[in-house]
Amino acid sequence: LHHFLKGSPPTTSVQDLANTVIPHRRDNGSVLFAYTAKPRPVDDDKPQTTNTNTLILLHEFFGLTQSICDKADALAEDLQCRVICPDTFRGQSSTFIPKCIWLALTTPQERVNQDLEDVLQWASSSPMEKLAVMGFCYGGGKAIRFTTQKRPNAITVVCYGSPVTDVNELQKLERPVCGVFGQLDVQFPPPLLEAFRNALSEANVQHDVKVYDGVGHAFWSDMEQIRRGDQPQLNAYKQITTFLRKEFS
């Protein structure tokens, strides 16, 4: 409902947004498009001293959009790390909500896991110290399922995505979890989020899960909200960057 009421981000083709092409290891000749962000060099005459931490940032059900790329740029700068936004819809994006829903429902976790493993295989050609996986909406649910299923040593950030409440699954995680949700989110209501918190506690997973009053699903839509100082978007951004800065240190 939120997406119907607030509209959707403008469409630019995935190929136009992407600045990185990653080969699939399993599909002969096929590639995965991605947007990669790195901090701007402080001085062009000096070598860049970016740390070797990597953040994988997963898009909403619109697909890879300018909004996600803008968030990647900001996070790369603030955290001084590399941020990679893979196109998990494999070339498709949309502003037509029924198609967005269809894309999300027909993209299985197993395929996303394979794509992210290909991303990390490609990324491993450069030094990589610590890994975090973060996602919004559709991408948030995919993020925590990837870390529980394939990369338990990765840090997880879920922004209003489908939580995992299976204690046995969460017990696999070796690193903390950050969660950002809206109190008025009808997809993920407060009782479900309380169950998420309780399951993380029972699984002995350190976590910072916050539910922001007065907002619903997908309340942080773009970086302009952060630049204006909108609340609670700015507090959510500070929560995420403080959490990741600590875990990356």
Q: Is the pLDDT of residue 7 over 90?
A: no
**Each residue's pLDDT tens digit, 47-63:** 555 568 999 999 999 99
Mean local confidence (pLDDT), 186-208? 98
Looking at the predicted structure, is the pLDDT value of residue 169 above 90?
Answer: yes
Please tell me whether residue 121 adopts helix, strand or coil conformation.
helix
| Statement: residue 4 has pLDDT above 60 | no
Lowest model confidence (mean pLDDT) among 19-28, 165-174, 238-247? 19-28
Backbone dihedral region for residue 172 (phi beyond 0: left; psi -120 to 50: alpha; all else: beta): alpha
> Helix H segments across 28-96?
66-79
Q: What does each C-alpha distance from 19 to 38, 92, 98, 107 come to in angstroms? A: 12, 16, 28, 23
More confident residue, 25 or 166: 166
Q: What kind and span of H or E run contains 136?
A: strand 131-136
Per-residue confidence (pLDDT) for residue 40, from 0 to 100: 87
- What single letter denotes the amino acid at residue 52? T
**pLDDT at 24 (0 to 100):** 85
Q: Which band of pLDDT confidence, cut at 50, 70 and 90, is reported for residue 119?
A: very high
Q: Tell me how far apart the terminal alpha carbons of the chain are, to the nearest angstrom.
A: 39
Model pTM?
0.93
Helix, strand or coil, per DSSP, at residue 104: helix
Question: What pLDDT, on a 0 to 100 scale, did the predictor assign at position 68?
Answer: 97
Contact call for residues 225 and 245 (beta carbons, < 8 A): no
Average pLDDT over residues 199-206: 98
